[in-house]
Structure 1
C-alpha cells in the first residue's frame, strides 16, 4: 500500500479507499475480497515503524532488485519529486508541542495507546507555493523513461 501511495500521491485515508475501491489496487497488494484491508491508521503506523527501523530504503532497493529480475531494469533519466502526504492537523497544547519537539511523549498520552497511535508526532508544517501544509514530505527518485520509483525518503 505504501508503494501505491507513492505512485499515485495518496494520503493514508485515500490509499485505504482506493484499495477497497479498485480491483487492480486490491490485486497489487494481494488482498482479496475475503481479506481485511488495512485502514488509514494502520498504514500510517506501519510507515512510521518502517521509518523508525530505518528500512524504507532497503525495501525499495529490494523492490528495484525484483524489477530487475523480471527484466524491467530502469536505466533512463531520473526525476526527483517532492510530494506532501497530508495528515490530520494535530490539536496539541503549547506544552504538548514543546514535549514533542524535545522527543518526549507528553504527560498522560502513554496511558491511552490507541489515542497515541493516532498522533503524528513526526509530521510538520511545510510551506509550498505560499500555502501551509501539515504532514510528511516524501522525496522520490523516479526513472523518467519507465516511471519506476527508484528511491523514497520520508521526512
Structure 2
C-alpha cells in the first residue's frame, strides 16, 4: 500500500530489544494476508469518490476491519484504539501528521458494505484459493463439528426482547442462548465450509450443507450419530468415522465402543483447532450483532483469518 510504514519506522519501537506478542502477531499476519488480492476483490464495490471528499484508501479500511476481528473492537472502540495505540496505526498505515483516522461511522459503513455485497464468503474463498495454490489444503476427507456462540440474553434494548433468530439449547446440565457455528475442515484442521444456525438446530441436520458429497471419509463426534446420516455416507461410498452414542440399556460391546470413540476423537481433534483460534486467540465468544446473517458474515471472515493464522508458518516458509 502506498505510504505504508514499516514496523521499524517508529523510533520508540525500533529501540526495543523484545518483540511483543502483538507485534509478532501483526508482523506475521501482515505477511500472510493476501492484501492485493482481497483489495482487488472488494474494489469494484468500493466508492470511487467524485469532486468532493475522497474515500479512505481501501486497503486501510480492510486492515482496520481485520483488526476489529482479531481484537474484537467495536466501531467506536476501533477509532479510539487507532488514536491511542501507535502499533495499530503502523499496521494500518496511518501517520497522524498527514493522515486522518476514520471515524466510527466510516468504519461502520465499510462493514455494512461488505455485508450488503455479501463479500465475506468471497474473502473466505479467496483465502482458500491462496492456500490451495500453496498446497496447504488436504482433499482426502472432512472433519465436521459445531460450537455454541453465546448471544446477549438481556431484554434491555429498543425492542425489549432477545434476538428472535437465536435460540436456547441444553448441553449437559446447562442451558445456552445463542447460535451455532458449523464447520467442515480438512484433516489438518483448515476450515473448508462455514454455516450458522440457531443454537437449537441439531448438529447432524447441517451435515449435508457442509459436505460436497465427494469426501472419501467423514469424521465427527456423537452429535452426528444418526441412522439417516450413516445411510447417506454409505450411499456415497464415504468412510463413516462418526463417533457412536451409548444407547440406554446397552450392555454389550461397551469396551469396543469406547476404543472406537477414542480413536475417532484422536483423529478429529484437529477439527477443533479453528474453534480454539476463534475463541482463545481472537477472543470471539459472544455474538456482536442481531440476526444470523450478520453474525455469519463475521464468523466467515474470522475463519478465513483463522486459516491463515493456523498455516502462517508454512506460508512464511514459502516466501
Give the TM-score of the pair, scaled to structure 2.
0.27
More strand by share: 1
Bigger relative contact order (CA 8 A; separation at least 6): 1
Question: Counting helix residues as a fraction of each chain, which structure ranks higher?
Answer: 2
